[in-house]
Amino acid sequence: MLGIDLSYFDGLFEARRLGLVSDHVHLGLFADAVQGQTLAMAQDEMSMHHLRHLEVSEGGHVVDVGCGFGGTLRRLDQQSGGLSLTGVNVDPRQIEIARRGIWRSPVDWLLCDAAAFSNNRQRWADAILSLEAMFHFPDLAGFFAASAQALRRGGRMVASTILFGSGAEPASVAVVCAGFGPWPRPDLGLTELCGVAESAGLDVLHVEDLAPRCLQSFDWMCPHCPEKVTDNPVTELRRLFESGAASYPLLVLAPQDQERATA
């Protein structure tokens, strides 16, 4: 697995084999006005929300970096054929699951780190997605540089992650990072994240925080938080979301104008 320990996935493979989890490994996006939403429905909405921002055009080449079990790529494949798709992951076990079944569009599966997905290739992707995966990446600058290199002119990128604010309870953050590691930069803030993307050659067009709409996800995953910090990473992530100390930024990015970027 390219030397990366993603042991929180071990239980997910068994749950997946038993049909207990879908092919979305991310929080759900709930809407206040909609009654009877399940976690699965909200996870699908989270994928669709990212895809709406991505504005994929017919015939485009779409890359999903940190693609998990391929849920969002498959959603896209179901709604529009005639695309070229690439799924990127460091974990061969996830790629093996993601590639199963029928795909309408051709899919390349790349087993590599997020910073290495575009090695030796320039301007070949129309859209790059990364849903709830960047907090794992050991080389964020390399990931954004690879994305800037891969995107064609007029291309677009949508990337989301989880960040902790300065008021986050350190003991909770430690439990979350141990349980959902690797999490190399728990201290990373939004300003620095956007700065890293801009230094790599991407303009940040839009930022939104989806955290308030993710909260209901935890009702499906764990009991309410007890007063004292626990050793359960899901409970502690819930505590950080509920206290407002965790955010879930979604960034929409585009390659900087070449002349301006090199000026």
Ligand X SMILES: C[S@@+](CC[C@H](N)C(=O)[O-])C[C@H]1O[C@@H](n2cnc3c(N)ncnc32)[C@H](O)[C@@H]1O
Please report, as a single letter, which amino acid is at residue 107.
V
Q: Which helix (H) or strand (E) holds 154?
A: strand 151-160
Residues 73-102 that bind ligand X (CB under 6 A): 88-91, 94
Please report, as a single letter, which amino acid is at residue 26.
H
Where are the extended beta strands (E) located within 5-140?
61-65, 84-89, 107-111, 125-130
Q: Pick one of 54, 132, 146, 255: the residue that binds ligand X (CB under 6 A).
A: 132
| In the complex, least distance from residue 135 CB atom to ligand X, rounded to whole angstroms | 8
Closest CA to 127 of 81, 165, 178, 73: 73
The Cα–Cα gap between 263 and 260 comes to 5
Residues 136-195 that bind ligand X (CB under 6 A): 136-138
Residues 97-116 that bind ligand X (CB under 6 A): 113-114
- Please identify, using beta-carbon distances, which residue of 6 and 261 lies nearer to ligand X: 6
Asked if residues 110 and 86 have their Cβ atoms less than 8 Å apart, the reply is yes
72 part of the interface to ligand X, by CB under 6 A? yes
Stretch that binds ligand X, among 100-108, 131-139, 192-200, 243-251 (CB under 6 A): 131-139
Size of the site for ligand X (CB under 6 A): 24
Closest CA to 261 of 144, 113, 160: 144
Q: Which residue is nearest to ligand X (CB)?
A: 68
Binding site for ligand X (CB under 6 A): 4, 6, 24-26, 65-68, 71-72, 88-91, 94, 113-114, 131-133, 136-138
